[in-house]
């Protein structure tokens, strides 16, 4: 049986579900494809648990239990202060980044240059400078389906269109579950302050809701889509419209939450304006060769994005081939299980390539 070593960076909500999914499907994958995933290392932000010939199931389960309890990997035999960057690997391995960390795109690119492969749910390595994106994605070395739309087939659909000779006219997308939830609440007549507090309470927002309301996450996804189309854009070329004024960007989280009511009147006015023309207010990313816009837009009621409700995502690809009616991908664009499944599908596709290359 061939083994495919995995180094996993991040053991948060998605990372822990990914380990569980791999353990649950490992035997089925072995009998279907003749390889077996072996975890040679797990990393959180401050420690590393590694074993050259693969961590045993009880070791993985202990690591999951420790992380679920909010502990460091070092409490279950990991080494505090050590990171995946220092790992010496003798076999071609897959680095799977399910962290939310910034700043290690260069280290991942070096692993790609050394012949290893990368699978990402983390958007940040692909939304740093363009040369880093190129280095990471050279020769298809990195798969990143889960960075945009979680488990939905967004990147693979776009790549399939382009690889088969189609040309992009534009992508229109609503790709934040959190902001979609807020748009639906606003349309139902809720004040923005109440909707944000409810989303915060339900865990739909980041701990600081401004991380969602700034639009930065949508901006990163738009940049990844643009770069997937071959557009060599710098991060500054996409400027998402924030949901709050600059004055509220600098205050503490507690003060921001206390001052949310200041946003109610302006948002009520925007909803009323949309409803006057029979339209729908949506947070939309539009990407074409000439540029991208990311912000709140009033859409006509027959627009595909106007029919969206709640946290679902929708991606509409208008191309030379799909000119009259766009190709649409729609569904849940967040959630630990669907995101981990998107990552696992990328891992399996990458492992199959590695195993096929060994057989050549
Ligand atoms: N949740 C979703 O629905 C969804 C959908 C699509 C994409 N994603 C992306 O998937 C990633 C993971 O999401 P999540 O919800 O699992 O996040 P999370 O629960 O916040 O977990 C993040 C994990 O990353 C680890 N980490 C942070 N900095 C690190 C570093 N420098 N080196 C190594 N590990 C580090 C954290 O370590 P500690 O445990 O030590 O804090 C934690 O284990 C994010 O990039 C997110 O944007 C999530």
- Whether 212 is in a domain gets the answer yes
Protein residue closest via CA to atom 25 of ligand 1: 10
**Residue positions annotated with a catalytic role:** 221
Look at the chain and report how many structural domains it folds into.
2
Closest CA to 348 of 109, 10, 30: 30
Are residue 67 and residue 129 in the same domain, yes or no? yes
Q: Please enumerate in sequence order all residues whose Cβ is within 8 A of that of 360, keeping only pairs 6 or more positions apart, or say none.
A: none
Residues 42, 48, 53, 54: what is their CA dihedral angle, to the nearest 10 degrees?
Answer: -30
- Whether 155 is in a domain gets the answer no
Could you tell me the CA-to-CA distances from 111 to 53, 71, 107, 116, 349 in Å, in that order? Answer: 19, 28, 7, 5, 19
- Whether 306 is in a domain gets the answer yes
Question: What pTM, to 2 d.p., does this model score?
Answer: 0.96
Q: What is the domain-level CATH number for residue 124?
A: 3.40.50.720
Between the CA of 179 and the centroid of ligand 1 the distance, in Å, is: 20
Protein residue closest via CA to atom 10 of ligand 1: 121
Are residue 305 and residue 167 in the same domain, yes or no? yes
- Whether 167 is in a domain gets the answer yes
Report the alpha-carbon distance of residue 126 to residue 224 in Å, rounded.
Answer: 6
| Best residue among 10, 96, 125 to mutate for probing ligand 1, ranked by most atoms within 8 Å of CB | 10
- Whether 313 is in a domain gets the answer yes
Are residue 20 and residue 143 in the same domain, yes or no? yes
Are residue 307 and residue 196 in the same domain, yes or no? yes
Are residue 51 and residue 80 in the same domain, yes or no? yes
Q: Which residues form the domain of 184?
A: 160-332
Between the CA of 45 and the centroid of ligand 1 the distance, in Å, is: 9
Report the alpha-carbon distance of residue 203 to residue 165 in Å, rounded.
Answer: 42
Are residue 169 and residue 132 in the same domain, yes or no? no
Q: Please enumerate in sequence order all residues whose Cβ is within 8 A of that of 334, keeping only pairs 6 or more positions apart, or say none.
A: 150, 177, 178, 311, 313
Are residue 198 and residue 299 in the same domain, yes or no? yes
Are residue 54 and residue 141 in the same domain, yes or no? yes
Q: What is the domain-level CATH number for residue 324?
A: 3.30.360.10
Are residue 19 and residue 37 in the same domain, yes or no? yes
Are residue 120 and residue 191 in the same domain, yes or no? no
pLDDT tens digits, the chain, 360 residues: what are they? 899 999 999 999 999 999 999 999 999 999 999 999 999 999 999 999 999 999 999 999 999 999 999 999 988 888 898 899 999 998 999 999 999 999 999 999 999 999 999 999 999 999 999 999 999 999 899 999 999 999 999 999 999 999 999 999 999 999 999 999 999 999 999 999 999 999 999 888 888 999 999 999 999 999 999 999 999 999 999 999 999 999 999 999 999 999 999 999 999 999 999 999 999 999 999 999 999 999 999 999 999 999 998 889 999 999 999 999 999 999 998 889 999 999 999 999 999 999 998 776
Ligand 1 pocket: which residues have CB below 6 Å?
9-15, 43-46, 67, 98-101, 121-123, 146, 150, 334-336, 339
Are residue 34 and residue 103 in the same domain, yes or no? yes
Nearest atom of ligand 1 to the alpha carbon of 147: 7
Between the CA of 11 and the centroid of ligand 1 the distance, in Å, is: 7
Are residue 175 and residue 252 in the same domain, yes or no? yes
């Amino acid at each position: 049986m061939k083994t495919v070593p995995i180094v996993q960076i991040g053991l948060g909500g998605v990372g822990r579900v990914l380990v569980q999914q791999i353990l649950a499907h490992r035997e089925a994958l072995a009998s279907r494809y003749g390889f077996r995933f072996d975890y040679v290392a797990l990393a959180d932000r401050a420690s590393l648990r590694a074993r050259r010939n693969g961590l045993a199931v009880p070791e993985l389960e202990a690591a999951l239990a420790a992380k679920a309890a909010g502990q460091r990997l070092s409490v279950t035999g990991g080494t505090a202060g050590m990171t995946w960057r220092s790992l010496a690997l003798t076999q071609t391995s897959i680095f799977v980044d399910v962290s939310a960390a910034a700043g290690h795109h260069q280290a991942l690119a070096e692993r790609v240059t050394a012949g290893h492969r990368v699978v990402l749910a983390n958007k940040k390595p692909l939304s740093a400078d363009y040369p880093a994106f190129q280095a990471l994605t050279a020769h298809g070395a990195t798969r990143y389906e889960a960075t945009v739309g979680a488990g939905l087939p967004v990147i693979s659909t776009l790549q399939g269109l382009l690889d088969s000779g189609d040309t992009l006219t534009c992508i229109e997308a609503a790709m934040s579950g959190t902001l979609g939830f807020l748009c639906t609440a606003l349309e139902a007549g809720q004040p923005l302050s109440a909707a944000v507090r409810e989303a915060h309470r339900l865990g739909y927002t980041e701990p600081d809701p401004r991380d969602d309301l700034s639009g930065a996450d949508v901006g990163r996804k738009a940049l990844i889509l643009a770069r997937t189309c071959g557009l060599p854009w710098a991060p500054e070329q996409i400027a998402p419209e924030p949901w709050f004024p600059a004055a509220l960007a600098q205050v503490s989280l507690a003060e921001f939450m206390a001052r949310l009511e200041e946003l109610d009147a302006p948002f009520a006015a925007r909803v009323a304006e949309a409803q006057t023309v029979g339209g729908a207010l949506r947070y939309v990313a539009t990407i074409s060769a000439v540029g991208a816009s990311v912000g709140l837009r009033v859409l006509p009621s027959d627009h595909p994005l106007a029919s969206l409700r709640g946290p679902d995502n929708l991606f509409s690809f208008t191309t030379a081939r799909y000119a009259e009616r766009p190709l649409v991908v729609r569904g849940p664009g967040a959630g630990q299980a669907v995101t981990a499944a998107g990552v696992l599908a990328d891992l399996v596709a990458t492992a199959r390539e590695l195993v096929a290359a060994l057989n050549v």
